[in-house]
Amino acid sequence: MKLTLTPQLLGFVVGTRAVLAFGAGLLLADRIPQPRRKTIALAMIGFGVATTFPAARAVLARKSRDTDAVVM
pLDDT of residue 3: 78
Closest among 61, 41, 46 to 16, alpha carbons compared: 46
Question: H or E stretch including 27?
Answer: helix 7-28
Task: Kindly state the DSSP code that residue 32 receives in the 8-state scheme.
Answer: S
Question: What is the C-alpha separation between 51 and 46, in angstroms, rounded?
Answer: 9
2 is a domain residue: no
26 is a domain residue: yes
Cα torsion 28, 29, 35, 41: sign: negative
Q: Is the pLDDT of residue 70 over 60?
A: no
With cut-offs at 50, 70 and 90, classify the pLDDT of residue 2: confident
1 is a domain residue: no
- pLDDT single digits (tens) 6-65: 899 999 999 999 999 999 999 888 888 888 999 999 999 999 999 999 999 998 888 777
17 is a domain residue: yes
4 is a domain residue: no
pLDDT of residue 30: 85
